[in-house]
Structure 1
Amino acid sequence: MYFVEIKHDGLHKYRVIKGKEKYVVEQKAYVQMKQWDEMWDKKQEVERKNRERKNVALEKAQKKADAEQQTKEALEELELINQTLLHTLEVDDKIDWDSLKDVSKFTRSKPLEPSEPSYAKEPDKISYEPKFGLLDKIFSSSKQKKIDLSNKLYEEALLKWKRDTDDVKTKYDQDMDAFNNKLDKWKKSKEAFDLIKKEKNDAIEMQKQLYLAAESESIIEYCDMVLSNSEYPDYFPQEFEIDYNSINKTLIVEYVLPDISYMPTLKEVKYIVSKDEYKESFITDAVVRKMYDKLLYDITLRTLHELFEADAINAIDSIVFNGWVNTINKANGKEENICILSVQTSKEEFMDINLKMVESKTCFKNLKGIGSSKLFSLTPIAPILKIQREDSRFVASYNVTGNVDEDTNLAAMDWQDFEHLIRELFEKEFNASGGEVKITRASKDGGVDAVAFDPDPIRGGKIVIQAKRYTNVVGVSAVRDLYGTVMNEGATKGILVSTADYGPDAYNFAKDKPLTLLNGSNLLHLLHKHGHKAKIDLKEAKLLGKEKI
């Protein structure tokens, strides 16, 4: 697994991009940084224009026009927030794999081969032959002198021609050596460029093929790319985590929503001529809260739409979307990360919705979404499903029911065997819906004994299970402890299983809480339901306990 940490100091953004393929991770990081740089450039441009307005707008007419421009930009920003959901309906959210590939060209110019040199023509001896006159024919010495002189001139011309020819050839040979050296380096550089380009594109192609083969990690990475491509204002966090259950084809999205403090509030800017000053008007707090709630519902529906629409291989049957907000607790001044809305929907149900015509809150509620009626209040809720499979407390389990028969006294079992028996029973109970049950490290009746992950859209989520092999009535303290554990674990429900019964105060405490109390009779019924028999004899267990002491 490769990962790259990227950040943008100007925008105060940070992401860790993970993946199996190095070049895919690097390409995704490059695309993300490019988007951030573009956002930063736009922000810088806006700030530059703002500075220019203050410096340039000296004339009152210009200041009035400047105020009108600021008003226009403020209204456009408010409208952009209002169009959050509709914006995505004009976009094809499927990943264009070819756009991720490196299509760059090798830009280094190929060296030019030196031209074949042109050589001077070799001197022609005939052209150097002397011309004899009448005297030369009479006086042989004169004739010989002319012959000797012509031979000398020819030899000198020939020698010079040879030297010049050799110089040209030597220079050409040197130029060719230099050219071949440059050409060799150019070829090696191009080969290296083409190799890296091929490796990158092969990695992306491999990622594509893994996705088309519905490989779980590739589906998660694909959905990560889809949400990363979604365009939001640069001041939105746009952070998320994704998990995928291949058994029931459910995608889980943990999405960081913007805090209400991110909301634009400027409505109008007027230039007061008489005072030579600007006056800003803002939308009311009530309007901000209403707009904020709509925005969060819009983001939720938009994310569901983008993921379902991009699902080119029908790998996703349903999506669980959990919306989280990083905010400051006004009571203690500390940062908090709280889940304020959660919804689960099937692809068939969601894609049948006409998002152009819906009112986002009504649509969310119709999908049985969970959340406060006033999202701006940031009221925490338990997510419908929040799978956290990596837990250091989980240990290997073993089956116990094979050794249980009608003579087995559950109240006298070894406490570890009892916890594994409870895990095994609930595993059979949840298996039909693709659920999973894991037992935790030895606790001796303290904390969490087992954790169930149930993908069922109605009863599902993370369920904490505690097993109490008691021989006395279970008091309210054990039930109160279970409720505290459910809250600390961020679970949707808690189940307490005991071989004994519960006192009235225990039942009263659990009445209006997401708690289920199973006594010895319920336990025997559950065991019988899954084809096993046993007994619970509290007196016998007490006697055996005394004998051990």
Structure 2
Amino acid sequence: MKGLFGRKQKTAEAQEAVERQYAEDYWAWTAATEELPARRAAQDAAHNEAERRREEQLAVETAKYETECAAREAEAKEQNEALDQLIAGLGYGTADAVKEYVEIVLANSVYPEDFPVTHSSVFEPSTSELFVSVRIPGPETVPTIKQYRYVKANDEITPTAATQKDAKDRYATIVNNVALRTIHEVFEADRRGLIRSISLELGTETISPATGQPLYVPFVAVAANREQFSGLDLRAVVPAATLAHLGAAVSKNPQGLVPIASGGIRRGNE
């Protein structure tokens, strides 16, 4: 009998546990079901808010893109109009168009970053002559080291300074080369033959040791016409000799900031 009552009690306890678990699950399910609309509403609200922010950001980015596109189109239109005007001006050989074209050509002339060369020009249509002014850095910007050598005893590399003559010749060579290169680049780029002759002056800007004021020192003044210059084979010439052949006035010592002597320049179209 005791065993029978024990089994019934266990069965009753198990039944009670099942019913209790069922009740808990039922009420949990009921609570979850009742929460679903609110949860869905919260999710919908979050989604709608995210979508609103996305659309706002899209509108901002779209407006930014359209503004940038409009700016690029306006810039391209302006550049195209300027190019059309330049081409038309070159067709007529106007002074402003030729000057602008020469400035574009010389602006694309590449020199070392630590040796900037600047140009300015004026074109005279009545004579088809271009006047070019060239500015180069002073001699202090040119390296004065001749070479480097390895000293085994000290296990180091030491520089060997260039002689005064080497430094003088090095800067003079730069002066001569830049002068001839500038004339060559202009004539080479002027395929229409608008420029018949070039008068060039090259120098540097420094500080006068006597006054402490800015001082311009001219190193080269040369004039050459197209026919005369086109007869030169620049691959085989000695720049100093070529400038002498063109009748240029050249500083005897650019490295010492000695200016050219005034007068005595033979015109390239004479």
**TM-score, L = length of structure 1:** 0.36
Q: How far apart, CA to CA, are the structure 1 residues paired with 2:123 and 2:199? A: 10
In structure 1, the residue corresponding to 2:236 is in which secondary structure? Answer: coil
Matched residues in 1 for 2:137 and 2:61: separation? 56
Specify which of 51, 67, 73 is matched with residue 195 of structure 1.
73
Distance 1:194 1:281, change over 3 A: closer
Map of 1:238 onto structure 2: 117
Q: Deviations for 1:92-147, whole angstroms, at most 9, x for unmatched residues? A: xxxxxxxxxxxxxxxxxxxxxxxxxxxxxxxxxxxxxxxxxxxxxxxxxxxxxxxx
**Match 1:307 to one of 171, 178, 186:** 186
Distance 2:117 2:268 in 1: 28
Q: Partner amino acid for 1:198?
A: A
Residue ranges of structure 1 left out of the alignment (5+ in a row): 1-159, 386-455, 461-549
Alignment deviations for residues 243-292 of structure 1 (CA, whole Å, 9 cap, x no partner):
11110010001111332222212122234343354421022111111222
- Residue 365 of structure 1 corresponds to which residue in structure 2? 244
What is the aligned partner in structure 2 of residue 287 from structure 1?
A: 166
SS of aligned partner of 1:255: strand
Cα distance change, pair 329–185 in 1 and its aligned pair in 2 (3 A): closer
Distance 1:350 1:190, change over 3 A: same
Question: In 2, are the aligned partners of 1:340 and 1:381 still within 8 Å (CA)?
Answer: no
Q: Which residue is equivalent to 2:215?
A: 336
Distance (whole Å) between structure 2 residues aligned to residue 190 and residue 330 of structure 1: 52
Compared with structure 1, are the counterparts of its residues 358 and 191 closer, same or farther at alpha carbon in structure 2 (3 Å cutoff)? closer
> CA separation of 1:232/1:184 partners in 2, compared to 1, >3 Å: closer, same or farther?
closer
> Aligned letter for 1:369?
A
Judged with a 3 Å threshold, the aligned counterparts in structure 2 of structure 1 residues 183 and 357 are, in CA distance, closer, same or farther, namely closer
Partner of 2:10 in structure 1? none
SS in 1 for 2:110: coil
Root mean square deviation, CA, Å: 3.6
* Aligned counterpart, 2:267: 457
| Residues 1:183 and 1:230: Cα distance change in structure 2 (over 3 Å) | closer
| Structure-2 change in CA distance of 1:383 and 1:208 (3 Å) | farther
User: Structure 2 regions of 5+ residues with no counterpart?
Assistant: 1-36
Note closer, same or farther for the CA distance 1:363–1:184 as it changes in structure 2 (3 Å cut): closer
Letter in 2 for 1:224: E
User: What is the match of residue 84 of structure 2?
Assistant: 206
One-letter code aligned to 1:256: R
Provide the C-alpha distance between the structure 2 equivalents of 1:262 and 1:187, rounded to a whole number of angstroms.
46
**CA-to-aligned-CA distance 1:12-53 (integer Å, 9 cap, x gap):** xxxxxxxxxxxxxxxxxxxxxxxxxxxxxxxxxxxxxxxxxx
Query: How many residue pairs are counted as aligned between the two chains?
Result: 225
Report % sequence identity: 21
Q: Which moved more, 1:290-299 or 1:270-279?
A: 270-279
Q: Structure 2: how far apart are the matches of 1:355 and 1:323?
A: 19
What are the within-5 Å matches in structure 2 for residues 519-538 of structure 1? none
Equivalent position amino acid for 2:146 in 1 = K
- 1:294 Cα deviation from its structure 2 partner: 1.8
Q: Does 1:382 align with 2:262?
A: yes
Q: 1:192 to 1:360 in 2, by over 3 A?
A: same
The structure with more helix, counted as a fraction of residues: 2
Is 1:178 paired with 2:55?
yes
Counterpart check, 1:217 vs 2:27: no
Within-5 A mapping of 1:146-185: 178=55, 181=59, 185=63
For 2:72 and 2:221, the matched residues in 1 are separated by 47
Contact 2:224 2:268 in 1 (8 A): no
Q: 1:283 to 1:184 in 2, by over 3 A?
A: closer
Task: Call closer, same or farther: CA 1:187–1:294 in 2, change over 3 Å.
Answer: closer
Q: When the two structures are superposed, what TM-score results if normalisation uses the length of structure 2? A: 0.69
Task: Measure the CA separation in 1 of the matches of 2:169 and 2:248.
Answer: 18
Q: 1:253 aligns with which of 132, 136, 139?
A: 132
1:431 alignment partner in structure 2: none
Structure 1 residues 181 and 213, CA, compared in 2 at 3 Å: closer, same or farther?
Answer: same
Q: Which has the higher contact order (CA 8 A, sep 6+)?
A: 2
CA deviations over 1:216-265 (Å, ceiling 9, x no partner): 11211111121111111222241222111110010001111332222212
Kindly provide the CA deviation profile for residues 290-324 of structure 1, in whole angstroms up to 9, marking residues without a partner as x: 22222211111100000100113221000001112
